[in-house]
Amino acid sequence: MGIHRSIIRSIILTAAVISVLAAAVVTNSPHTASPATSPYTSQAPSRGGIGKLYMGREISDVMGHRGAAWLERSTRVFEERPDEVVAHMDLEPDHVVADLGAGTGYFTFRISPQVPRGHVYAVDVQRGMLDIIRKRMARGSIHNVTPVLGTTTDPRLEPSSIDAVLLVDAYHEFSDPYAMMTAVTKALKPGGRVFLVEYRAEDAAVPIKRLHKMSAAQARMEMEAVGLRWRTTLEFLPTQHFMVFEKP
């Protein structure tokens, strides 16, 4: 009887040790490891949302290419100060840059003259947007821009090839942000940077739909989940965060 009890006790003890060790492995596993289960949950879609949540944030639906005129509105220069955004990217003339979720190329064609010996990949999931970019390239005889039709999980960029990725008013629309940012991280060179510009969710006075905004804390959590390192958050824009992340 005594022997039985001590065997049972040692089985229970061993099981307890194994479960503690297993928990420690899960806790210490790097954020970059693929989640064993989906990182997303779902709910009934809110207005303008797709009903899919990532780290508690509902993902917004995608702005169609028929909204192109909105991206090119004349007041945007004052509202979003695009030249200051590009200046804060500290680009070198030979840098290779990806404008991810490029839309009409509002930023692409401001980056292109800054990298005369480098290149700009204008990535978007909508052919209609890339057609607009191609027309602008032809009109301006621009040769250092390549339009890229990406997918929702893959920007189709070569591994370790990119110095800087710019994401303006686009990331909140990514329907698979975990897969996309994992692919972006692979495409970055070590030390390569991600510049994330999103409307400030913390500020109720910013007149933008809720799902088109992000808080700095949420953005940081999502970028760190794929192994990017937060460098700084600058608040020089009237209504948006300008956040910088780096591939270690």
Ligand X SMILES: C[S@@+](CC[C@H](N)C(=O)[O-])C[C@H]1O[C@@H](n2cnc3c(N)ncnc32)[C@H](O)[C@@H]1O
> Which amino acid is located at 233 in the chain?
T
Nearer to ligand X by Cβ, of 180 and 201: the residue is 180
Least Cβ distance, residue 178 to ligand X (angstroms): 11
The one among 85, 98, 102, 130 contacting ligand X by CB under 6 A:
102
Q: How, if at all, do strands 229-234 and 240-246 pair?
A: antiparallel
- Write out the DSSP string of 105-125: TTTHHHHGGG-TTSEEEEEES
Beta partners for residue 243, in sequence order: 196, 233
**Interacting positions 152-181 with ligand X (CB under 6 A):** 152, 168-170, 173-174, 180
Interface region with ligand X, contact rule CB under 6 A, candidates 5-13, 47-55, 100-108, 218-226: 100-108
Number of residues this chain uses to bind ligand X (CB under 6 A): 22
DSSP H or E segment with residue 208: none
Nearer to ligand X by Cβ, of 62 and 216: the residue is 62
Nearer to ligand X by Cβ, of 72 and 94: the residue is 72
Query: Residue number with the shortest CB distance to ligand X?
Result: 103
Residues contacting residue 246 through CB under 8 Å, at least 6 positions apart: 191, 192, 193, 194, 228, 229, 231
The one among 63, 91, 223, 225 contacting ligand X by CB under 6 A:
63
Q: What Cα–Cα distance (Å) separates residue 127 from each residue in 22, 64, 65, 103, 150?
A: 46, 10, 9, 10, 10
Nearer to ligand X by Cβ, of 44 and 69: the residue is 69
Among candidate residues 39, 62, 36, the one with its CA nearest the CA of residue 49: 62
Least Cβ distance, residue 69 to ligand X (angstroms): 11
Based on the shown chain and the rule CB under 6 A, indicate whether residue 125 belongs to the binding site for ligand X: yes
Based on the shown chain and the rule CB under 6 A, indicate whether residue 150 belongs to the binding site for ligand X: yes
The sign one gets for the Cα dihedral 44, 67, 55, 237 is negative
Based on the shown chain and the rule CB under 6 A, indicate whether residue 121 belongs to the binding site for ligand X: no
Q: Contact, 94 vs 118, CB < 8 A?
A: yes
Residue in the structure block whose two tokens are 């297993």: 22
Phi, psi of 149 (to 5 degrees): -85, 105
Nearer to ligand X by Cβ, of 144 and 152: the residue is 152
Interface region with ligand X, contact rule CB under 6 A, candidates 6-14, 38-46, 97-105, 138-146: 97-105
Among candidate residues 162, 192, 167, the one with its CA nearest the CA of residue 103: 167
> Which amino acid is located at 179 in the chain?
A
Contact string (CB under 6 A) for ligand X, positions 187-226, x = contact:
----------------------------------------
Q: Contact residues for ligand X (CB under 6 A)? A: 62-63, 71, 100-103, 106-107, 123-126, 129, 150, 152, 168-170, 173-174, 180
